Amino acid sequence: MLSDTIAGAVGRLAALALVALLALGLLVSTAACTESRLKSVRQRGFLVCGIWPVAGFAHGDGQGRYAGFDVDVCRAMSAAIFGSAEQIRYVEVASAAQFLRSNEIDVVARRLTWSLQREGLGLLFGPVTFYDGQGFLISRRRQVSHIDRLPHPRICVIPGNINQVNLDAYIQTRHLAAQTVFLQSLAEVEDTLSSGRCDAFTADVSELGAVRSTMHSPDDFEILPEQVSKEPMGAVVRQGDDQFFSILRWTVFAMITAEELGVTSANVTEKLRSDDLDVKRLLGVLPGNGRALGLDENWAYNIIKTVGNYAEVYERNVGMQSPLRLARGLNSLWTDGGLMYAPLVRQ
């Protein structure tokens, strides 16, 4: 009986040991999985960023070099990882499905609206980088502030996308006596609005700004203040790339926090001597944040020095001093009545 008892105890201990080993193996496997993306990017020596050409957000020079709001998100990630904002290869990505088919693409920043079903495809959305919404572009000659002030408006839209769906819903809920006119391409917008074939063109405000910036007479057109949808846009990584997801999130948060604290690309080196504890934590003078992300302690300093804070990125690419001339609106800091808000860079 004693030998049976001992044997039973030994068996139970062996089983517990096996369970512990399996659990340890799972943890090691999980850790390896979450670290693999950052490790492979470092070994490769550059970040592969998916973008899509849209004026102000991503525009190329034909030589593989790009600039724009979305591009700067990727440049900021490169700065956080490598200390340089230029260690990137850009790939034009037409859809989330294309991104998921190619494991070589590390992150996509391309005016992609955050939605439940897109997350269901296997995506992780980073923080909202641009609060967008569907609006209306009209000729200034109309002299109206809302689309329903126009009698029987003819509203142009590119068919077959969410903009058409939103427009149909808007017309129905407002009981608007409007006529929908379908355009085949964005190249038609200026002529249809100038000729009066359409009273307004509808699309996301970011796209309206991009379309207007390419017109022959952009000052003849304005974007109405009303919006008929909400389109929170952010960069995406794959589900399972947990550590890389954290780097994406805190890259964006670092730029927002820098604006809150008054840290810019011009004064960031001087700010290393600041007495403000939040500034010292952000810039790595007080260590810990870099280690938590698997990055150097000066990761945020490198972002701000080479790319800038959120306001700098916004204004030079899509703000009122850029060809798109988009007001900050909801993209203002929370302290200025907007929605831009970052968690704390401390314990």
**Residue 34, pLDDT above cutoff 60:** no
Q: Among all chains, which residue has been given the structure tokens 């944040």?
A: 289
Query: What's the pLDDT score for residue 327?
Result: 95
Helix residue spans in the chain (DSSP H): 2-44, 69-82, 96-101, 116-119, 162-173, 189-195, 205-213, 242-261, 268-271, 277-282, 289-293, 299-306, 310-317
Residue 344 neighbours by CB distance under 10 Å: 9
Task: Give which of 243, 248, 236 is closest to 121, Cα–Cα.
Answer: 236
Task: Give which of 285, 250, 279, 247 is closest to 262, Cα–Cα.
Answer: 279
The string of pLDDT tens digits covering residues 84-124 is: 999 999 999 998 889 999 999 999 999 899 999 999 999 99
Cα-based angle 19, 23, 24 (whole degrees, multiple of 5): 115
For β-strands 134-139 and 221-223, DSSP reports them as: antiparallel
Q: 136 forms bridges with which residues in the sheet?
A: 202
Q: Among all chains, which residue has been given the structure tokens 């070099």?
A: 65
Q: Is 103 exposed, middle or buried (0-12, 13-18, 19+ CB in 10 A)?
A: exposed
More confident residue, 169 or 5: 169
Q: How many angstroms separate the CA atoms of 25 and 269, rounded?
A: 44
Over residues 36-51, mean pLDDT:
96
Q: What residues contact residue 79 under an 8 Å CB cut-off, 6+ apart?
A: 85, 299, 302, 303, 305, 306, 307
What is the band of 33 on the pLDDT scale with cuts at 50, 70, 90?
very low
Helix (H) or strand (E) holding 232: strand 231-233
Cα-based angle 211, 133, 129 (whole degrees, multiple of 5): 90
Q: 146 to each of 114, 128, 142, 228, 230, how far by Cα in Å?
A: 27, 27, 10, 11, 17
* Three-class SS of 106-161: CEECCCCECCHHHHCCCEEECCCCEEECEEEEEEHHHCCCCHHHCCCCEEEECCCC
The string of pLDDT tens digits covering residues 282-327 is: 999 999 999 999 999 999 999 999 999 999 999 999 999 999 999 9
The string of pLDDT tens digits covering residues 178-230 is: 999 999 999 999 999 999 999 999 999 999 999 999 999 999 999 999 999 99
Q: How many angstroms separate the CA atoms of 202 and 181, rounded?
A: 11
Rounded to the nearest 5°, which phi and psi values hold at 88? -140, 145
Structure tokens at 43: 């070994």
The string of pLDDT tens digits covering residues 143-157 is: 898 898 888 999 999
Q: Residues of 250-288 as b/e, b for ≥16 C-beta within 10 angstroms?
A: bbbbbbbbbbbbebbbeebeebeebeeebbbbbbbbeee
Query: Domains along the chain?
Result: 43-131+232-336 (3.40.190.10), 134-229 (3.40.190.10)
Asked if residues 262 and 298 have their Cβ atoms less than 8 Å apart, the reply is: no
Query: What's the pLDDT score for residue 35?
Result: 54
Query: What's the pLDDT score for residue 28?
Result: 38
